[in-house]
Chains A and B, each alone.
Chain A
């Protein structure tokens, strides 16, 4: 089998402007949704209590609400979770309410109402923890960006570093945009998925950057545009197969991993799909646009060659 039979280099750069416009529009849309709708933060960040219960039969939400209402807890949400016999109850954070006892109280009334109920999971996050997670999430993002930029700048050239990080941050923003638009719950695992995707998509940019560098050495007469077109064309097959493989795994998590990993794998799926696009069709035009030239990359050839000798 050979999926990709490409005779001539595809002139990706001719359409660079189109791609940049598409990216810009999706990016702006994502920002718009983030600004207007905001993220639906899970209790990891917002604080609150989450109780997952399961019954021996399908959940009767009327009865469940009726039972919980007796506690006068104010506003809360109850919804099906995964299967029809499982319910998820979310209680917002409230001042002066002893949270440790809260879940017991809820379980108490539910058990009194229907003895077949069993507790599957309780999560409670206090306000101080939520705020911290928020902060450390932001710090982690900054650290990833700084780390990747400096590594790429060291290994290649600052233009690649900047282009790669811009292209991939655009993925992150788009993932967040999806979460904002659909109001999917943004929890800690989703944050982890987002950061993992950031690291993963940069791979893609690295592969292309590597090829561009190699081509600058090999294709002595070619223009920058030709070099980039060739680099993308010759790696496209690998790009799609790799992402397809990772996607297979992620979809497997999506279908078999259960509700807990639902949004996690969803974030990964979106990230992978946009990752293909952005690292190929956003990063490369950006590199050219930033004005990369043969001299920038071929100059440190001697050093690079010694570096390449670490072979297995």
Chain B
């Protein structure tokens, strides 16, 4: 009666085998590696890249212990960290600008395991160390900036069309024009709506003749979406500068971006480069005689701002923005072709180039300032003199710069070319030593808890306790295999959830064993007791697991960060425990007792019976 059909044993065996297979990679230690990847869509990483990497290492005489190529890039395993550094230098030279060569740790599990997709568990930042940022994009800022840009564009349009206007400026998120003549206003409105289809112009007569241009809702939406994607692109580029092996840059919600940099040791630099939530503006320097002195004395002239240049020199800058950072396509350090001095080459987009040409023609001999605005604080990166009219959108900034400064300026300009300001609203940094400690602590809590539990179960329920303990081992195995398979992020609370889930999973076995004892107490035969014990307990197990699962799912939906890690493991653990505690443990019991026709006792510990015959046992 207590026998399983063959297929059930097969199911159990297959499940355990798959469990073992996918748990296996977690036992191999991680080895140093160098990873070659790319962020550019045009660059392909394939077997050719792998071959050239291996060749380069061979030529340089750097031994490696294996190389492979997968969707994240080429990975080369190395014996120790010294060779790792040497290999990185070799590969960096070999591959150059288009590739990212990063240090990494990869599992030393054999290639055939990796080939079937059996990877070690994906450790969260709290276990492997690294930086997690949540950045929020200032959408109001993005719209304000768009309005600023339109203000400048509208002004040049009015000039181009020779329309008489009294003034133009931004009020909130609107562009407001003032007129003396109503006819000019009508003309302006027609031209404006023709030139800028994203704007709606409304005439207003509040004491003066005004024309208020507002962004259409769909344009606002487009700007917001654009701000997110542009910021993601910029963050990816910045992250690439850091040379991180498995960075994550993802949109979260409508206006947020998550950045995760696992294994980053130099968190200060990462934060410095990422946290530079800056915007770039090009403005004219106010070099009127005496103006700077007056400003420094506290009398800042109207329409100007007093900033300091990097290095501390004060500069007086006109408030009107000539160009904003989003007109800049690229900024790269390089050398002046004539003088061979370090320089920064800036590439502007079409409109930017046109404006720049106009401005430089009118201002030869004057200075312009490149201003980096970071959270309301402005800093002048550099203030070069305009030597001649610059057309074509290709600008070169040179003079008074060494190579490092040119690098810095280019980096800052690229960093500043952001569509919208961002702010770090959440940060979690975990040092590498704490990561290791956390793994150890998590492992120890599971281990010692497990041992205590196993010893107790075996002592209290004897053979049935041993079965329960084996079922618990299988539960752990399946859970780890499932986590490895799904590549769900394992965090420290996640490890705690493993421990907790195991502690809760034993409930099913306790229920079953108690029920069997109870049946025996009431005088059932051992076979009937096993049968009834499992059957009666099943309902209860199902109900109680469903309620636990409800709590788990709620946490999964609403949890973030560490809680999510907890919830994922908790939910998966409930599912695996249903299998192991009921199906698997019954299978073992059937194997042990099922074959015996005459079974007169079960090894489940003492079964106490009330009444005069108390103390008689069914052992």
Contact = CB atoms under 8 A, between A and B. Distances in A.
Interface of A: 1-2, 5-7, 52, 54, 98-101, 103-104, 107, 118-126, 128-129, 133, 136-137, 139-141, 143-144, 147-148, 151-152, 155, 188-189, 191-192, 195-196, 198-200, 202-204, 206-207, 210, 214, 234-235, 237-238, 241-242, 244-253, 255-258, 260-261, 264-265, 268, 307-308, 310-312
A144 B550 contact: yes
A312 B543 contact: no
Contact of B566 (A189, A234, A244): A189
A246 B503 contact: yes
A196 B430 CA distance: 26
Contacts of A249: 445, 449-450, 452-453, 499-500, 502-503
Which residue, B431, B438, B563, B614, has most C-beta atoms of chain A within 10 A? B563
Question: How many interface residues does chain B have, given as a range?
Answer: 35 or more
A202 to B, nearest CB: 4
A207 B511 CA distance: 9
Given A148-B550, A151-B550, A257-B496, A245 B503 contact: yes
B506 interface: yes
Tell me the dominant secondary structure on chain A's binding face. helix
B547 A140 contact: no
25 contacts: A100-B275, A103-B427, A119-B267, A122-B429, A123-B428, A133-B560, A143-B558, A151-B547, A152-B547, A188-B562, A196-B548, A199-B547, A199-B548, A202-B548, A244-B456, A245-B453, A245-B457, A252-B444, A252-B445, A253-B449, A253-B500, A261-B493, A261-B496, A265-B496, A311-B534
A246 B456 CA distance: 12
Contacts, number: 264
Contacts of A204: 544
B424 A126 contact: yes
B566 A1 contact: no
B157 interface: no
B460 A241 contact: yes
B430 A121 contact: yes
Which residue, A54, A133, A199, A256, has most C-beta atoms of chain B within 10 A? A199
Contact of A203 (B424, B544, B562, B566): B544
B586 interface: yes
A214 B536 CA distance: 10
B434 interface: yes
A54 B433 CA distance: 10
Nearest to A201: B547
Interface string B179-204: 00000000000000000000000000
B534 A312 contact: yes
Nearest to B4: A312
5 interchain residue pairs of minimum CB distance: A199-B551, A249-B503, A252-B449, A126-B425, A203-B544
B514 A196 contact: no
Contacts of A234: 518
Contacts of B555: 140, 192, 195-196
B428 A122 contact: yes
B544 A206 contact: yes
B387 interface: no
B448 interface: yes
Contact of A118 (B429, B433, B453, B535): B433
Contacts of A98: 275, 375
